[in-house]
Amino acid sequence: MADSASQLNTNFPSASPSTSPSNPVGSISSDSVMSFGERTISAAGAAVLSAIVVNPLDVAKVSSFFYRACLKLNVTFWT
């Protein structure tokens, strides 16, 4: 029984990080390190894309809430 447990443990990689190619988390090449400016541009692009996608959905949600509230109160703000 102990032999099978030790054999099972040898199949898993070690917990310590290494810089070998078999461990992609521990080995970061200098090509993948982004500068502050690159990260800033990337974050700004993500924010713009998020605003473009999410803003129309928020407008539709608020409009539907407003429409339902007006129907419930029997008030019309449009002709």
Q: Which among 4-13, 32-41, 70-79 has the top mean pLDDT?
A: 32-41
> What is the tens place of the pLDDT at every residue in 18-65?
555 555 555 666 567 889 999 999 999 999 999 999 999 999 999 999
Model-level pTM greater than 0.75? no
The candidate with the shortest Cα–Cα distance to 17, out of 27, 9, 8, is 27
CA-CA distance, 24 to 27, in Å (whole number)?
A: 5
End-to-end CA distance of the chain: 81
Do residues 38 and 31 make contact, with C-beta atoms less than 8 angstroms apart?
A: no
